[in-house]
Chains A and B, each alone.
Chain A
Amino acid sequence: MTARRGFFSLHKCLRHLLACILVIAWVGDSIAEGGAHDPLEGFNRAMFSVNEAVDGYAVKPVAQVYDRIVPLPAKVGVGNFFGNAGDLWIGINSALQGKFSDAGSDIGRLLINSTVGILGLFDVASELGLDKHDEDFGQTLAVWGVADGVYLFFPVIGPRTVRDTFGWALDSYSDPLRAVVSVPVRNSLLATRIVDVRAGLLPADKVVDEGALDKYSYIRGAYLQRRRNQVFDGRPPRLDD
């Protein structure tokens, strides 16, 4: 029932998106010439400190408790479940980037893990040799030639370039969890996913806290390098200096 309405607004959303892409491409190019990725640094740093506080008081402690008390097989199951829910959208993005054999494998993963893997709790497909891919709409935009644009730091969701902000908007729109009708169930699933993702980042915390001279710059650099690596599927061309 919601699917049809969803489809129509998706269509409209795509038209708006196309217009936006043209704007970002233009903004992105004019900024890339300046060589500075972060003209809004003052604003971003303020948002960054807000996030540090929210994370330190709320998200991180919950993730730490989750990490400590939930046994490993259960954590693996949770990670697999959300991973499986994401494979359809990953497959669509593989296809949009022209990687059709990857797309086939992504859909194959979804079919195998949803059935044999009991609703995605077990990642049987990886053991059969169908590797999980890492795609999202921000990467698709990049492959289509959209430049990064300005670096932004958002409260709650963290760093995104302008391009990846639009990518993220569409990723969230197509999120299968949105299709869950019961609001309490949906909210619990969303919260669990946030905790699962945050728990996965716990080992990196120590490295950043100890290694960074300036945590804000360190995270900005890491975000931009990691995104570039994802866009090129782990084999980015070398930047000469």
Chain B
Amino acid sequence: MFLKHFAFVFSFFVVVAAQAQEAPDVLIQQVTDEVLEIIRKDKDIQGGNAQKVIDLVEKKVLPHFNFSHMTALALGKEWRKASPQQQQQLTQEFKTLLVRTYSNALTGYKNQKVVYKPFKMAAGETDVLVRTEVLQPGSKPVQLDYSLEKLDAGWKVYDVVVAGISLVTNYRDQFAQEVRSGGIDGLVASISTKNKSLEATVAKADKK
């Protein structure tokens, strides 16, 4: 009995360790396939249930993202001038905004197919780009690339690039604008306001 438990726990650790060591392209492919498979089977998500898709993203996708790096990248030079507390608040709000926005995009998922481009990586590399393409009938393929970095906890995504548009650096001008007018705290406040208004619309839509 004890041995059986031990074997189970041991195999669990092996799986976790293997995931952390996973090559970045394999990681992207596994997570993408898993999430799309769930969406394909879930009628609620296809029907536009925003909360359900947000839960899915938080559980399956977020563990593979490095949001403080993303936020630093979106803020640019100002990041180093922010206090640790401001950095943390900003990261939290930006994370909420990105998750809400792009989770919603997943509810529109219908019949698309993801193709993984050939991936090569030199030994010891710690910063890579994994390239994929989303195919959908009747429209041009959409390029979807992920920038990943190697941390102690494994490979983490720090940027997502859709059709050449970085979801992170595309915030740079807007962040700079807000910081100019209200400082870092002003920026935190305006993202927070945006999040609250989105939350209100999600709640309203789910009630219907």
Contact = CB atoms under 8 A, between A and B. Distances in A.
Interface of A: 72, 75-76, 79-80, 132, 134, 200, 203, 206-207, 210-214, 217-218, 220-222, 225-226, 228-230, 234, 236, 241
Nearest to A211: B101
A147 B58 CA distance: 42
Contact of A218 (B73, B170, B191, B198): B170
- Which of B105, B108, B165, B178 lies at the interface centre, i.e. has the most chain A CB atoms within 10 A of its CB? B165
Nearest to A210: B101
Contact of A75 (B97, B108, B138, B165): B138
Contact of A203 (B73, B108, B143, B178): B108
A21 B174 CA distance: 31
Contacts of A214: 174, 177
Interface in B100-136: 100-102, 104-105, 108
A234 B143 contact: yes
Nearest to A123: B138
Given A214-B174, A217-B173, A79 B139 contact: yes
Contact of A230 (B100, B104, B164, B190): B164
B59 interface: no
- Which of B138, B190, B198 lies at the interface centre, i.e. has the most chain A CB atoms within 10 A of its CB? B138
Given A213-B174, A220-B173, A229-B165, A79 B76 contact: no
Contacts of A217: 173-174, 177
Nearest to B194: A213
B46 interface: no
Report whether over half of chain A's contact residues are helix, strand or loop; otherwise say mixed.
helix
Contacts of A206: 104-105, 108
Nearest to B197: A210
A176 to B, nearest CB: 19
Interface string B135-150: 0011110010000000
B104 A213 contact: no
A79 B140 CA distance: 9
A72 B140 contact: no
A82 to B, nearest CB: 11
Given A213-B178, A213-B191, A217-B173, A207 B105 contact: yes
A136 B133 CA distance: 22
Contacts of B98: 211
A225 B102 contact: no
